[in-house]
Amino acid sequence: MAKIERVRNIGIVAHIDAGKTTVTERMLFYSGKIHKIGEVHEGDTQMDWMPQERERGITITAATTIFPWRSHEVHLIDTPGHVDFTIEVERSLRVLDGAVVVFSAVDGVEPQSEAVWHQADKFHVPRLAFINKMDRVGADFSAVVNEIRQRLGAKPAPIQMPIGAEDRHQGVVDLVRMRALFFTGDEAEPPREDEIPQGLREEARLAREHLVETIADVDDAIAEKFLEGSEIGESELRAALRRGCVAVKLVPVLAGAALRNKGIQPLIDAVVDYLPSPLDLPAVEGVNPKDPEKKLTRAPDDKAPLSALAFKIAMDEGRKVVYLRIFSGVLRPGDDILNARTGHAEKVARLFQVHAEKRERIEKAGAGMIVAAMGLKHATTGDTVCLPSAPILLERIESYEPVIASAIEPESVSEKERLDFALAKMVDEDPTFRVHEDPETGQTIIRGMGELHLDIVVDRLRREYGVKARVGKPQVVFRETLCRAAEASGRFERKLEEESIFGHVHVRVAPRPRKSGNVFQSKVPEFPPLPPAIVAAALSGVREAAGSGPVGGYPIEDIDVTVLAVEVREGASPEIGTKIAASDAFRRACAEADPRLLEPIMSVEVVVPEEFLGAAIGDLNQRRGRIEDVGARGGKRVIQARVPLQRMFGYSTDLRSLSQGRATFSMQFAQFDSWG
């Protein structure tokens, strides 16, 4: 176990196909963790270990590893770039101290790059930017730096200047040390350090001046020396860069071509030099689980009480493996711990350090480490585990609502039990995967984040669990909302044997802005006073009724529901009657409030050669798409549009056909909306 100041917990994040896994593979090779470089296109990388990942050449699940570099211990998570698996990025960023964001030098800031950047903003994660694929036709380092500044609202600080681009890319100028690094592309040869070529010295001098100016904007010590015209040394510049990066005030930017083995060693140096150790960040914050008003903190110290966050659940031959980030204290096999969310006592059976799908048993884990544990039966994603004598509840990890659904049924009655078992295990693993039984048809419905997500689920059911099942065509998951305010009353009166049940409730419903959520409140007059349990029963009735709207029985969202009056009768059982009457009043009010169906609307970006632009726009219009912008990037045209999800099925095939295979697209969920 390295000293905590020598630990780096980092993630590699980016848009799909920007080169995250290729960068990770080179980091492992140059650190000595592996002795042969695997390639994504050959399906033999260490980090893409699932059969589905190797066949498709994409990352599906966040994979964890650990490697040494310059007497430091780097814990790394390689995350997916596909939008269907964005929860893997979200839960990884929640427990990481820093991130390397990989951009393509040709494609720049792509939609999922933007999404993960804002996820990192949410968790205040310090970042480095690595502009990859400098050897590709159309590579433009300066253009990508400008996009990072303009589209992401960041302050990029290029600490390198590329030497050449496309097929002339030879290396980089290190602007901190003012030395040139040349790469041959041979995986066995280290970078060769030399003087900056004569023809680049003036450009490098100006680039370093610009770097100093950028740092001076966020660092008073450098600003003072800069204004005085004093020489700023390498160590001063490095220390200021680290301060600015850790404080998320600037983003050091590096360049290279991972597939050609260029730029990786300086990138790992930058991870060690500029990204924070657990000690550089504030103590983790939480609350007392029994008194949420009481704020608590845990310092990153082995001597502090244990606190850890379960950020990922995986299944190993049906056994639950819980991935933990330990924020404070020490964890050992055999320890009795508390699940702060559920209140359940748990016992750690075994602890592991993880390298992709391989695990190595360890006897203890300290603050700042990312480990896997077995034996935690009740833990789910986002749960806090801690000492029973010092409970703390950390902020949970938010999930996403599924937007696509399919019916699934076993091929025989004997398969039903196996299917149910497998689905339950997969729900445990993936917070964005949901399963329910349709009460009308009795069908099992699976829901996920997209077509690819459900394809992977079904493929895993067949391969890992041996389930033989038939799957229906994907269906869109709808929502409902209201367009105007309305009021209504509901009344329930019944005699059951000797018990009388009665309730009379008056409610008002009104629309709220899109994506603002539901609000349920009571404005029942204080006189005559009603027992709180009766008002609570009315609110419970309207909440439950909001799960099924009047148009198609879909959940209603973005509404304001107010209970205005509750009438009870002496001698009658009030709570059951009030709850049923409130549900009835809510349904009647909704029927009068112009209910509308909402469908999932996707934000779509299409990158297409100029000659196919008209055909691509025409196709999107036929899909009820609304074109928001048409721009240019790297010699191609970029279409930004909003399109209903139900019209995007099969789009990849159609786009390939109309563009002779030369166009690409990406899409992510934007919002539920009523779409004309």
pLDDT band at 256 (very low <50, low <70, confident <90, very high): very high
Amino acid, single-letter form, for residue 181: L
- With a CB cutoff of 8 Å and minimum separation 6, the contacts of 360 are 352, 353, 354
Q: Which amino acid type is present at position 318?
A: G
What is the band of 62 on the pLDDT scale with cuts at 50, 70, 90?
confident
What pLDDT sits at residue 515? 83
pLDDT, residue 206, reads: 95
What is the CB-side half-sphere exposure of residue 139 using CA atoms within 13 A? 23
- Is the pLDDT at 1 greater than 60, yes or no? no
The confidence score (pLDDT) of residue 676 equals 66
Tell me how far apart the alpha carbons of residues 183 and 518 are, in angstroms, rounded to a whole number. Answer: 57
Mean pLDDT, rounded, for 42-70: 69
- Mean pLDDT along residues 562-574: 86
DSSP 599-664: EEEEEEEEEE-GGGHHHHHHHHHHTT-EEEEEEEETTEEEEEEEEEGGG-TTHHHHHHHHTTT--E
Please report the pLDDT score of residue 217 as a whole number.
94
pLDDT score recorded for residue 45: 58
* C-beta neighbour count of 378 within 10 angstroms: 15
Decide if pLDDT at 468 tops 90.
no
Please name every residue paired with 347 in a beta bridge, in sequence order, or none if there are none. 336
- At residue 268 the predicted structure's pLDDT band, cuts being 50, 70 and 90, is very high
Q: pTM for the full model?
A: 0.78
Percent of the chain past pLDDT 70, that is, above it, reads 95
Could you give the C-alpha distances from 156 to 9, 118, 126, 215, 388, in angstroms and in order? 22, 15, 12, 10, 44
Instruction: Determine the Cα–Cα distance for residues 4 and 7; give it in Å rounded to an integer.
Output: 5
The band of 440, judged by pLDDT with boundaries at 50, 70 and 90, is low
Q: What is the pLDDT of residue 400?
A: 78
What is the pLDDT, as a whole number, of residue 14?
Answer: 87
Query: Any idea what the Cα angle at residue 86 is, between residues 146 and 602, rounded to 5°?
Result: 80
Q: Quote the pLDDT of residue 58.
A: 64
Residue 370's pLDDT band, with cuts at 50, 70 and 90, is very high
DSSP state of 513: -
Judged against a pLDDT cut of 90, whether residue 71 lies above it is answered with yes
- Residue 427, classified by CB atoms within 10 Å of its CB into exposed (0-12), middle (13-18) or buried (19+), is middle
> What does the pLDDT read at residue 60?
66
Q: How far is CA 307 from the centre of its chain?
A: 22
Chain centroid to CA 290: how far? 29
The pLDDT of 19-34, averaged and rounded, is 89
In this prediction, residue 472 has a pLDDT band, given cuts at 50, 70 and 90, of confident
Residue 186 DSSP code: -
Q: Which of 42-56, 95-109, 117-131, 294-308 has the lowest mean pLDDT?
A: 42-56
- Selected residue with higher pLDDT from 400 and 524: 524
User: 611 phi and psi, to 5 degrees?
Assistant: -70, -15
Lowest mean pLDDT among 117-126, 277-286, 422-431, 565-574: 565-574
Q: Is the predicted pLDDT of residue 558 greater than 90, yes or no?
A: yes
Q: Residues 6-15: what's their mean pLDDT?
A: 91
Q: Which of 469, 485, 449, 676 is nearest to 590 (CA)?
A: 485
Identify the pLDDT of residue 90. 86
What is the pLDDT, as a whole number, of residue 250?
Answer: 96
Residue 181 pLDDT? 96
Residue in the structure block whose two tokens are 């390295």: 2
CA angle 192–193–195, rounded 5-degree value: 130
Looking at the predicted structure, is the pLDDT value of residue 44 above 80? no
Q: How many angstroms separate the CA atoms of 642 and 365, rounded?
A: 47
In tens, the pLDDT along 99-147 reads 999 999 998 988 778 888 988 998 999 999 999 999 999 999 999 999 9
Bridge partners (DSSP) of residue 321 are 314, 374
Is the model's pLDDT at 397 over the cut of 90? no
The closest of 455, 502, 499, 497 to 474, measured between CA atoms, is 455
Q: Decide: 222 and 100 in contact? Cβ < 8 Å.
A: no
**Residue 412's pLDDT band (cuts 50, 70, 90):** confident
Average pLDDT score over the chain: 89
- Phi first, then psi: what are they for 293, rounded to 5°? -75, -20
Who contacts 199 (Cβ-Cβ below 8 Å, separation ≥6)?
Answer: none
User: Which range has the top average pLDDT, 30-34, 269-273, 450-454, 656-660?
Assistant: 269-273
Q: Please state, in angstroms and rounded to a whole number, the distance separating the CA atoms of residues 428 and 329.
A: 27
Question: Residue 267: its pLDDT value, please?
Answer: 97
3-state SS, one letter per residue, for 60-126: CCCEEEEEEECCEEEEEEECCCCHHHHHHHHHHHCCCCEEEEEEECCCECCHHHHHHHHHHHHCCCC
- pLDDT tens for each residue of 164-188: 999 999 999 999 999 999 999 888 8
Q: Is a pLDDT exceeding 90 seen at residue 519?
A: yes
What's the mean pLDDT in 556-570? 91
For 325-348, what is each residue's pLDDT tens digit?
Answer: 999 999 999 999 999 999 999 999
**pLDDT number for residue 414:** 80
Question: Dihedral sign, CA of 510, 513, 517, 522?
Answer: negative
Task: Specify the pLDDT at position 52.
Answer: 64
* Per-residue model confidence (pLDDT) at position 38: 65
In the predicted structure, residue 41 carries a pLDDT above the cut 70: no
Q: What tokens were used for 111?
A: 């939609």
Residue 434: phi and psi, rounded to 5, are -125, 150
**536-559 mean pLDDT:** 92
Helix (H) or strand (E) holding 171: strand 171-174
Residue 551 DSSP SS3: coil
CA-based nearest residue to 600, from 515, 483, 519, 512 = 515
Q: What are the pLDDT digits (tens) for 603-633?
A: 998 989 999 999 999 999 999 999 999 998 7
Q: Which alpha helices (H) appear in 337-487, and where do they start and end?
A: 416-429, 451-464
pLDDT at residue 356 greater than cutoff 80: no
- Nearest C-alpha neighbor of 556 from the set 493, 511, 497: 511
In the predicted model, what is the mean pLDDT of residues 407-436? 88
617/630 Cα distance (integer angstroms): 9
Task: Kindly state the average pLDDT of the residues 247-267.
Answer: 96
pLDDT value at 198 more than 80: yes
Q: Can you give the length of the chain in residues? A: 676
- What's 556's DSSP letter? B
**Comparing C-alpha atoms, which of 187, 205, 173 is closest to residue 27?**
187
